[in-house]
Amino acid sequence: MGKLDGRVIVITGAARGQGEQEARLFVAEGARVVLGDVLAERGAALATELGERQARFVRLDVAVEEDWAALVEVAQEAFGKVDGLVNNAGIVRFNALVDTPLEEFQQVVSVNQTGCFLGMRTVAPRIAAAGGGTIVNTASYAGLTGMAFVGAYAAAKHAVVGLTRVAALELAAQKIRVNALCPGAVDTPMVDEGALDPSADPEEGARIVAELCRKRVPLGRIGRPEEVARLALFLTGEDSSYITGQPFVIDGGWLAGESPA
């Protein structure tokens, strides 16, 4: 018996990184998954690999209402219901606050904050119609504290934590639990590419992030996407049945304080 037997879960940003690992783990635990991402080729390939009985891919720009409407219709037609959502899609841009162009700020907020809002607003009624379920929003370590050079990202992720708490209060009567993941640095393409100018070498970005984690993270390393996926599984399954409205930090101890030299 899997921990998610019979569940139908929507996962955004599912073509790679944390979302991909969540999709793989959820299917291994018995779920059927609907994968949303703007990376259509990679997302479709993952759905094919997972199998038609277990997965569907829908091209999804999380900031577009019409894309969300299309996704839930595909989910309903393919699997008959939706009873879970993992709002995983996100982007990061590194810039000093006073140097951040308005367009860049709005882009980050559009994906990370508006996308989360639209996901909950669209999918929650379907979850309620299925008799209840779970929503897991991906916030961040930076959604609970300040972090230099990621002002837009931190603002959006603070908002995700707030939206999570509001949704938990409003949706509890419909038997929907809502919680937030708050990862620190995790070894995903988003982090590697965001560490530098987008035109730079992602391998150099990965090196910079790894060195930062070696110095700042008590456990001395960057996180792995499969580790975040296991926390998403916990919050989606019955093991967390009395938990709602909470942010869960998974950061190797970074938020705990300053490590000794």
The pLDDT-based confidence of 204 (bands split at 50, 70, 90) is low
Tell whether pTM > 0.85: yes
Q: Give the domains, in start order, of the chain with CATH numbers.
A: 8-184+225-247 (3.40.50.720), 191-222 (no CATH)
- Predicted pLDDT at 76: 97
* Three-state secondary-structure class, residue 135: strand
Task: Give 160-172 pLDDT, tens digit per residue.
Answer: 999 999 999 999 9
- Host H or E run for residue 58: strand 55-59
Angle in degrees, CA 203, 229, 169, rounded to 5: 125
Does the structure show a pLDDT above 80 at 259? no
The tokens 């894309």 sit on which residue? Answer: 67
Residue 242 is a catalytic residue: no
Angle in degrees, CA 175, 89, 30, rounded to 5: 55
Which of 57, 153, 248, 254 is an active site residue? 153
